[in-house]
């Protein structure tokens, strides 16, 4: 199996006044291509810090983050922007859609940053919205869609650039429990069909059970990595 993410001896320390907060306190793991991994922990355990390090949004105090054979800690700002644009899709808790753009335009937007021609942008965005079952909502503005539909747009936008890796930060944090399940099933399905690697952070143990592996984080340390394949397959059989 191909490793796509490798984290070695990762530390992130923040100075607050006279004290030091160890947001990440020695983290090591590997994630293979095509895996869906959930990082689960309570508030303040270090989930967002870890995701920010993986995405190269913040520099580690110590340690290595290797994504697609590229050392994130060695890239400068321009290099990181380029790397993220070419390799990573993001799904956010607050959807982060542009309010004045309809679903189709929102999904097409990341492609314009890559300089793609309009016809090709619209074709790809259309295809992605079909994939997330939003055929009838392409012309809708975000405020004309439900939370679940908006997050489907968010998923389509993350996928449109065909990234190898997708990072999702509490992707269902603003949704009710039924809609959350639907969005999780959608993410699980597209990740599998499109052979993407998905890393999701959440405080919700139940949502984590959609993942292949569950990483439990406490006080900046991964205390357990749970193989969830069997449980997940049982769950899938129950729902058939
Ligand atoms: N910029 C910062 N400056 C100082 N301390 C920080 C900073 N960012 C995070 N921390 C601290 O690092 C620890 C981990 O924070 P982090 O945001 O990663 O937790 P989290 O698990 O994502 O929490 P939540 O679920 O509430 O978002 C916390 O103690 C937090 O207070």
20 falls within a domain: no
171 falls within a domain: yes
pLDDT at 233 over 70: yes
Residue 44 CA to ligand 1 centre (angstroms): 5
Is the beta carbon of 52 within 6 A of some atom in ligand 1?
no
27 falls within a domain: no
111 falls within a domain: yes
Confidence (pLDDT) at 148: 94
The per-residue pLDDT for range 58-76, each reduced to its tens digit, is 999 999 999 999 999 899 9
9 falls within a domain: no
Is the beta carbon of 49 within 6 A of some atom in ligand 1?
yes
pLDDT at 187 over 80: yes
141: tokens are 């503005």
Residue 91 CA to ligand 1 centre (angstroms): 19
Residue 48 CA to ligand 1 centre (angstroms): 7
6 falls within a domain: no
pLDDT at 232 over 90: no
234: tokens are 């049982």
The DSSP bridge partners found for residue 202 are 40
Estimate to the nearest angstrom the gap between the alpha carbon of 26 and the chain centroid.
22
Query: Which DSSP helix (H) or strand (E) runs through 65?
Result: strand 62-67
Q: Which band of pLDDT confidence, cut at 50, 70 and 90, is reported for residue 240?
A: low
What's the structural domain count of the chain? 1
| Separation of alpha carbons 125 and 159, rounded Å | 9
Q: Which band of pLDDT confidence, cut at 50, 70 and 90, is reported for residue 239?
A: low
68 falls within a domain: no
The per-residue pLDDT for range 126-178, each reduced to its tens digit, is 999 999 999 999 999 999 999 999 999 999 999 999 999 999 999 999 899 99
Indicate the range of 110-114, 209-213, 234-238 predicted with least confidence: 234-238
Is the beta carbon of 16 within 6 A of some atom in ligand 1?
yes
Q: The domain spanning residue 193 has which CATH number?
A: 3.40.50.300
- The label of the residue with tokens 């998905």 reads 198
Structural domain that includes position 105: 34-57+77-239
103 CB-near residues (< 8 Å, 6+ apart): 129, 134, 137, 138, 139, 140, 142, 145, 153, 156
1 falls within a domain: no
Average pLDDT over residues 182-198: 90
| Separation of alpha carbons 24 and 10, rounded Å | 7
């Amino acid at each position: 199996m191909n490793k796509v993410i490798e984290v070695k001896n990762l530390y992130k320390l923040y100075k607050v006044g006279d004290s030091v907060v160890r947001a990440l306190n020695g983290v090591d793991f590997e994630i293979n291509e095509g895996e869906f991994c959930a990082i689960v922990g309570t508030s303040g355990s270090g989930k967002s810090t870890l995701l920010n390090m993986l995405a190269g949004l913040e520099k580690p105090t110590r340690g290595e983050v290797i994504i697609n054979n590229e050392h994130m800690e060695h890239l400068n700002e321009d290099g990181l922007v380029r790397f993220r644009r070419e390799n990573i899709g993001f799904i956010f808790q607050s959807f982060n859609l542009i309010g004045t753009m309809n679903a189709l335009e929102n999904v097409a937007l990341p492609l314009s940053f890559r300089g793609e021609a309009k016809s090709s942008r619209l074709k790809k965005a259309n295809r992605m919205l079909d994939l997330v079952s939003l055929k009838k909502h392409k012309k809708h503005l975000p405020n004309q869609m439900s939370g679940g539909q908006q997050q489907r747009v968010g998923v389509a936008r993350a996928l449109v650039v065909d990234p190898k890796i997708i990072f999702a930060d509490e992707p269902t944090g603003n949704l009710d429990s039924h809609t959350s399940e639907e969005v999780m099933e959608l993410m699980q399905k597209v990740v599998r069909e499109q052979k993407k690697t998905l890393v999701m952070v959440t405080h919700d143990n139940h949502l984590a059970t959609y993942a292949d592996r569950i990483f439990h984080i406490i006080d900046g340390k991964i205390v357990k990595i749970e193989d969830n394949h069997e449980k997940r397959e049982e769950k899938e059989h129950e729902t058939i």
